[in-house]
């Protein structure tokens, strides 16, 4: 680094006399700007990610029917029409040139045909007889509406709806709404992102009126209370998250019950009991290596050990659980796998926490005649606990967001019932996000984004708690 | 105090000062050792499971070890089991990721450690840590819904396939930035202040000090952070499962779809995979390769830290 070159002149050096100094300072400023920029880019990436998710939790939508109304609404029966009406119908709907050819082909004028022959001609010649004779839902009587429901719904669903409120007691609008939702499977056929929908609604409405004449449209939030507590279904318009949320909570509770005691015990052993033995060095190296093993490998361990080898226990068959699942793809297998995954995290944090406890505390306790365990239990763990808790919280948030091992262990992609215990098949929040994000339809991405918001709120608040807790502790030490 | 002297005189009366046997204490110690064994058993479990199932895979008549490492087609149901397409896809996505994450992460680390005021640092570091806490499935969603359409609009709808390695690699790079930044920042902060003062004293600018004095002094920690980053990229599953591809493909074009090792394992295992099938044992043969790739990297990174650490 030739920073100053005094040999250039014999005069005493003035600060800034070397022309390279100015240049080097400029480079320094540019470099600083560049470094700052890369930090900004990282933060912008975070913001774009959040906006990308946020833009899908609500927006303008156009509704359409999955099932053609013509196939369920009883049409006018042609047989009930009189000869004049049929004649009129034929004349109105058969193209004129065809109408001119017909008498020759039939060997008689339309007017002279019998009702039966006329019907045959109409069925043969009029395109879309269905459309012609269809009636809008609004034109039907209440009785006919109820009839449609009873014919098209499963008996179970029909009874459930009837039990909620008897069909006879429901209003017309309510019945029509029910048919649209349950029978015609009213669904979203096009969606718009949140921000244009909020700020440029008029333009979108115009576009909808141009491209989808007569269709129902409106603003729709995908992240709603009903979404969070609702059942999982195969339709994005009606699906909820409840089984996945319950699955996540149950799994995390078991994970904590397993990983926290084992993790703290290992940390305590390594720091307080093991000394510098060969065994403790082995355990220590092993823990560092485990913390670098990809999570999907833990999944493979889980599927081979918990799901297959121990299937009698993890399916609950060994405990006499009635009607056990055929293999161990259950909550307990997922939770144990997750427990092993976060174990290194808990252990390493426990060790650091214990190492930070002042030596005087141990000496004092031991000098008063306490045993090693009494010292640990009454003096070291209480002091180290807040710091250990930070590690536990980070572990929980890791386990909540981890998906890959559960795919392998076999969280089911589609579960309609809430998990009922340790031995039920299950799904979890991130698994549901993955399943929905894989599907190409926009509406599935909408509910995937809504589920992401739920997951992020939980995970990030856990992480934030841990970070704040840790910073407080650092200050107080 | 009274009880203490009482018990002291008691043991004196018995004439023995030998350490008292405490069965409870021994029991506790035993259970602590048992807990420590859980982590050892986990490692043994991983290695045994991977080896046993991979052995079952290679014992199948249609599989040969030579073909496994040389064939360029992975289609177990058709009797072709070359792991190369999966490995190249993993390498390509990881290289893209590290090309993004290394400069951005390192620059962010230098800024945080050398330039940012303590106040700014107190806010910026937690944000980076928060970024690191976002579940990877969310990054996967981001790759499919944002990065892929973005790449398509920049490079052309036909050039960029719906699934492509570039999108997965770029987003993986964003995911790894906080890891590289956080570990490098720790390494840079550990460089003693005297080194910087000496450099300033000789007339160096702050940038020169950062790059020519502090950075070389912290290079082992930074190298370790990069290796950990690569290892994370090898093992990352959700981003590549969602964005990189839905089938093995031997290609070097990052805009094409190709499944990585982890992505393939995830796709094959979703749903009710039969335990008797070749598919089931095949994922363990991939798993064992992945396990040793990441293990080697982790061991190298720890070795670098220990071997080249400048102790001040």
Q: Can you tell me whether residue A63 is helix, strand or coil?
A: strand
Mean pLDDT of A224-236: 87
Please name which of B297, B127, B181, B163 lies closest in space to residue B240, comparing C-alpha atoms: B163
Mean pLDDT of A362-386: 92
**pLDDT grade for A4, boundaries at 50, 70 and 90:** very low
Q: How far apart are CA B211 and CA A30, in angstroms?
A: 14
pLDDT at residue number A10? 47
Q: Find chain A residues with C-beta within 8 A of B39's C-beta.
A: 266, 283, 286-287, 290, 343-344, 347
pLDDT at residue number A2? 44
Q: Find chain A residues with C-beta within 8 A of B296's C-beta.
A: none
Domains of chain A: 51-66+187-221 (no CATH), 75-133 (no CATH), 138-184 (no CATH), 242-476 (1.10.3720.10)
**Which region among A99-113, A338-352, B148-162 has the lowest average model confidence (pLDDT)?**
A99-113
pLDDT at residue number B14? 55
Structure tokens at B307: 């071997």
Q: How far apart are CA B145 and CA B124, in angstroms?
A: 27
Q: CA of A310, closest CA in chain B: separation in Å?
A: 13
Model confidence pLDDT, tens digit, residues A176-225: 878 877 777 778 888 889 988 889 888 888 888 888 877 788 888 999 99
Structure tokens at B92: 């390509």
Q: Find chain A residues with C-beta within 8 A of B144's C-beta.
A: 437
Q: How far apart are CA B129 and CA B116, in angstroms?
A: 16
Model confidence pLDDT, tens digit, residues A350-366: 999 999 899 999 999 99
Q: CA of B118, closest CA in chain A: separation in Å?
A: 13
Residues ≥6 apart with Cβ < 8 Å to A177: none
- Residue A469: closest CA among chain B residues belongs to which residue? B126
C-beta atoms of B238 and A403 within 8 A: yes
C-beta atoms of B42 and A301 within 8 A: yes
C-beta atoms of B129 and A463 within 8 A: yes
Q: Find chain B residues with C-beta within 8 A of A38's C-beta.
A: 103-104, 107-108, 111
The DSSP annotation for B38-58 comes to HHHHHHHHHHHHHHHHHHHHH
Residues ≥6 apart with Cβ < 8 Å to B101: B173, B174, B176, B177, B179, B180, B229
Model confidence pLDDT, tens digit, residues A239-284: 889 999 999 999 999 999 999 999 999 999 999 988 888 888 889 8
C-beta atoms of A401 and B111 within 8 A: no
Angle, CA of A350, A476 and B194, to the nearest 5°? 90
The DSSP annotation for A424-473 comes to S----HHHHHHHHHHS-SHHHHHHHHHHHHHHHHHHHHHHHHHHHHHHHH
pLDDT at residue number A17? 59
Q: How far apart are CA A318 and CA A337, in angstroms?
A: 20
Structure tokens at B112: 């945080």
Structure tokens at B150: 């973005």
Q: Find chain A residues with C-beta within 8 A of B136's C-beta.
A: 401, 403-404
Model confidence pLDDT, tens digit, residues B213-270: 999 999 888 999 999 999 999 999 999 999 998 888 898 999 999 999 999 999 988 7
Mean pLDDT of A364-373: 92
Nearest to B39 among A273, A286, A456 (CB): A286
Provide the whole-model pTM.
0.83
B9 pLDDT higher than 70: no
pLDDT at residue number A296? 94
Q: Where are the beta strands (DSSP E) in chain B?
A: 74-75, 80-81
**pLDDT grade for B93, boundaries at 50, 70 and 90:** very high
- Residue A405: closest CA among chain B residues belongs to which residue? B266
Q: CA of B40, closest CA in chain A: separation in Å?
A: 6
Q: How far apart are CA B208 and CA B200, in angstroms?
A: 9
Do residues A59 and A194 lie in contact, with contact meaning Cβ atoms separated by under 8 Å?
yes
Model confidence pLDDT, tens digit, residues A301-357: 999 999 888 888 888 787 877 777 777 888 999 999 999 999 999 999 999 999 989
Is residue A217 within a helix (H) or strand (E), and if so which, with residue range?
A: strand A216-221
Nearest to B29 among A52, A273, A327 (CB): A273
**pLDDT grade for B128, boundaries at 50, 70 and 90:** confident
Higher pLDDT, B162 or A322: B162
Q: How far apart are CA A305 and CA A111, in angstroms?
A: 83
Angle, CA of B288, B290 and B292, to the nearest 5°? 70
B210 pLDDT higher than 50: yes
Q: How far apart are CA B117 and CA B123, in angstroms?
A: 10
B308 pLDDT higher than 80: no
**Which region among A65-79, A180-194, A450-464, B27-41 has the lowest average model confidence (pLDDT)?**
A65-79
Model confidence pLDDT, tens digit, residues A388-415: 998 899 899 999 999 999 999 877 666 7
C-beta atoms of A343 and B299 within 8 A: no
Model confidence pLDDT, tens digit, residues A150-176: 777 778 888 888 887 888 888 888 888
B72 pLDDT higher than 50: yes
Domains of chain B: 74-308 (1.10.3720.10)
**Which region among A296-310, A346-360, B121-135, B171-185 has the lowest average model confidence (pLDDT)?**
B121-135
Letter string b/e over residues A250-289, b meaning 16 or more CB atoms within 10 A of that residue's CB:
bbbebbbebbbebbbbbbbbbbbbbeeeeebeebbebbeb
Q: How far apart are CA B122 and CA A381, in angstroms?
A: 28
- Residue B52: closest CA among chain A residues belongs to which residue? A304
Give chain A's mean pLDDT.
Answer: 84
**pLDDT grade for A299, boundaries at 50, 70 and 90:** very high
C-beta atoms of A373 and B103 within 8 A: no
Chain B interface mutation, best of A30, A31, A191, highest count of B Cβ atoms under 10 Å:
A31
ipTM reported for the complex, 2 dp:
0.89
Give chain B's mean pLDDT.
Answer: 88
Nearest to A373 among B28, B108, B299 (CB): B28
Is residue B165 within a helix (H) or strand (E), and if so which, with residue range?
A: helix B165-189
Q: Find chain B residues with C-beta within 8 A of A442's C-beta.
A: none
Mean pLDDT of A407-431: 81
Q: Can you tell me whether residue B191 is helix, strand or coil?
A: coil
To the nearest whole percent, how much of chain A has pLDDT over 70?
92
- Among A residues 253-282, those touching chain B with beta carbons less than 8 Å apart: 261-263, 265-266, 268-270, 273-274, 279-280, 282
Model confidence pLDDT, tens digit, residues B278-302: 888 899 999 999 999 999 998 898 8
Nearest to B33 among A27, A36, A269 (CB): A269
B157 pLDDT higher than 50: yes
pLDDT at residue number A274? 85
- Among A residues 314-353, those touching chain B with beta carbons less than 8 Å apart: 327, 329, 340, 343-344, 347
C-beta atoms of B265 and A282 within 8 A: no
The DSSP annotation for A7-46 comes to GG-SSPPPTT-SHHHHHHHHHHHHHHHHHHHHHHHHHHHH
- Residue B245: closest CA among chain A residues belongs to which residue? A438
Burial class (CB in 10 A: 0-12, 13-18, 19+), A112: exposed
Q: How far apart are CA A165 and CA B216, in angstroms?
A: 76
Chain B interface mutation, best of A391, A403, A469, highest count of B Cβ atoms under 10 Å:
A403
**pLDDT grade for B80, boundaries at 50, 70 and 90:** confident
Burial class (CB in 10 A: 0-12, 13-18, 19+), A177: middle
Higher pLDDT, B284 or A86: B284
- Residue B108: closest CA among chain A residues belongs to which residue? A39
Chain B within 8 Å of A110 (Cβ-Cβ)?
no
Q: How far apart are CA A213 and CA A94, in angstroms?
A: 26
Burial class (CB in 10 A: 0-12, 13-18, 19+), A38: buried
Chain A interface mutation, best of B33, B35, B203, B264, highest count of A Cβ atoms under 10 Å:
B35
pLDDT at residue number A6? 46
> What is Dmax (Cα atoms) for chain B?
95
Phi-psi region of A59 (alpha: psi -120 to 50; beta: other; left: phi over 0): left
First-residue to last-residue Cα distance in chain B? 47
Q: Can you tell me whether residue A188 is helix, strand or coil?
A: strand
- Phi and psi, residue A311, nearest 5°: -60, -30
DSSP state at residue A154? -
Cα separations in angstroms, A64 against A74, A196, B142: 20, 21, 28
pLDDT at residue number A302? 93
Burial class (CB in 10 A: 0-12, 13-18, 19+), A418: middle
C-beta atoms of A455 and B138 within 8 A: yes
Nearest to A459 among B129, B133, B290 (CB): B133
């Amino acid at each position: 680094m030739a920073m100053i070159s005094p040999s250039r002149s014999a005069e005493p050096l003035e600060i800034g006399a070397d022309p390279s100094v100015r240049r080097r300072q400029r480079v320094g400023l540019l470099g600083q700007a560049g470094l700052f920029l890369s930090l900004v880019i990282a933060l912008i990436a975070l913001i774009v990610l959040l906006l990308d998710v946020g833009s899908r939790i609500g927006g303008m939508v156009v509704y359409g029917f999955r099932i053609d109304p013509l196939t369920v609404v009883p049409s006018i029966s042609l047989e009930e029409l009189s000869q004049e009406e049929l004649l009129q119908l034929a004349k109105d709907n058969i193209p004129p040139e065809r109408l001119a050819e017909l008498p020759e082909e039939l060997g008689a004028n339309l007017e002279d045909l019998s009702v039966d022959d006329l019907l045959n001609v109409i069925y043969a010649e009029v395109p879309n007889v269905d459309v012609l004779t269809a009636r809008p839902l609004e034109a039907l009587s209440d009785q006919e509406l109820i009839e449609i429901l009873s014919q098209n719904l499963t008996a179970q669903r029909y009874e459930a709806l009837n039990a909620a409120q008897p069909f006879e007691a429901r209003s017309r609008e309510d019945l029509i709404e029910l048919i649209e939702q349950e029978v015609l499977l009213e669904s979203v056929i096009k969606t718009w992102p949140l921000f244009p929908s909020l700020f440029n609604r008029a333009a979108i409405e115009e576009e909808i009126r141009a491209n989808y004449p007569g269709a129902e449209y409106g603003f729709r939030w995908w992240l709603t209370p009903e979404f969070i507590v609702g059942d999982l279904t195969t339709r994005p318009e009606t699906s909820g998250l409840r089984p996945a949320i319950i699955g996540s909570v149950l799994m995390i509770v078991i994970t904590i019950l397993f990983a926290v005691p084992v993790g703290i015990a290992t940390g305590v052993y390594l720091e307080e009991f093991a000394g510098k033995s060969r065994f403790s060095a082995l355990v220590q190296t092993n823990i560092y290596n485990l913390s670098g093993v990809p999570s999907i490998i833990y999944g493979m361990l889980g599927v081979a050990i918990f799901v297959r080898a121990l299937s009698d226990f993890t399916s609950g068959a060994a405990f006499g659980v009635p009607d056990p699942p055929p293999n161990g793809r259950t909550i307990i297998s997922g939770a144990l796998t997750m427990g092993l995954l976060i174990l290194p995290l808990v252990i390493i944090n426990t060790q650091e926490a214990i190492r930070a406890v002042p030596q005087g505390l141990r000496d004092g306790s031991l000098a008063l005649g306490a045993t090693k365990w009494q010292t640990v239990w009454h003096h070291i763990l209480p002091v180290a606990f807040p710091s250990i808790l930070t590690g536990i919280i980070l572990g929980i948030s890791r386990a909540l967001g981890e998906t890959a091992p559960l795919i392998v262990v076999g969280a089911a992609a589609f579960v309609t019932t809430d998990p009922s215990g340790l031995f039920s098949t299950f799904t979890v929040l991130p698994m549901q996000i993955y399943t929905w994000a894989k599907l190409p339809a926009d509406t599935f991405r909408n509910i995937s984004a809504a589920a992401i918001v739920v997951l992020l709120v939980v995970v990030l608040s856990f992480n934030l708690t841990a970070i704040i807790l840790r910073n407080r502790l650092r200050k107080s030490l | 105090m009274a009880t203490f002297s009482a018990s002291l005189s008691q043991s004196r009366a018995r004439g023995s000062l030998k350490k008292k046997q405490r069965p409870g204490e021994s029991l506790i110690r035993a259970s602590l050792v048992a807990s420590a064994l859980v982590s050892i058993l986990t490692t043994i479990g991983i290695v045994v499971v991977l080896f046993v199932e991979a052995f079952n895979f290679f014992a199948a008549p249609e599989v040969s070890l030579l073909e496994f490492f040389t064939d360029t087609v992975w289609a177990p149901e058709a009797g072709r089991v070359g792991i190369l397409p999966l490995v190249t896809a993993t390498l390509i996505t990881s290289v893209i990721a590290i090309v993004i994450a290394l400069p951005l992460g390192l620059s962010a680390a230098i800024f945080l450690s050398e330039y940012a005021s303590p106040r700014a640092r107190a806010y910026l570091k937690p944000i980076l840590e928060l970024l690191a806490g976002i579940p990877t499935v969310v990054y996967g969603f981001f790759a499919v819904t944002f990065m892929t359409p973005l790449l398509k609009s920049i490079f052309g709808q036909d050039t960029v396939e719906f699934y492509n390695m570039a999108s997965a690699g770029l987003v993986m790079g964003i995911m790894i930035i906080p890891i590289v930044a956080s570990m490098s920042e720790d390494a840079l902060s550990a460089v003693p202040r005297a080194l910087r003062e000496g450099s300033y004293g000789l007339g160096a600018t702050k940038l020169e000090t950062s790059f020519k004095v502090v950075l070389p002094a912290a290079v082992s920690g930074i190298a370790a952070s990069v290796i950990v980053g690569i290892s994370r990229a090898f093992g990352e599953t959700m981003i590549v499962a969602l964005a990189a591809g839905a089938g093995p493909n031997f290609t070097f074009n990052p805009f094409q779809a190709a499944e990585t090792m982890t992505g393939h394992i995830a796709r094959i295992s979703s749903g009710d995979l039969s335990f008797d099938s070749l598919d089931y044992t095949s994922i363990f043969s991939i798993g064992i390769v992945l396990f040793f790739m990441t293990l080697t990297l982790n061991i190298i990174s720890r070795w670098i830290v220990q071997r080249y650490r400048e102790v001040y």
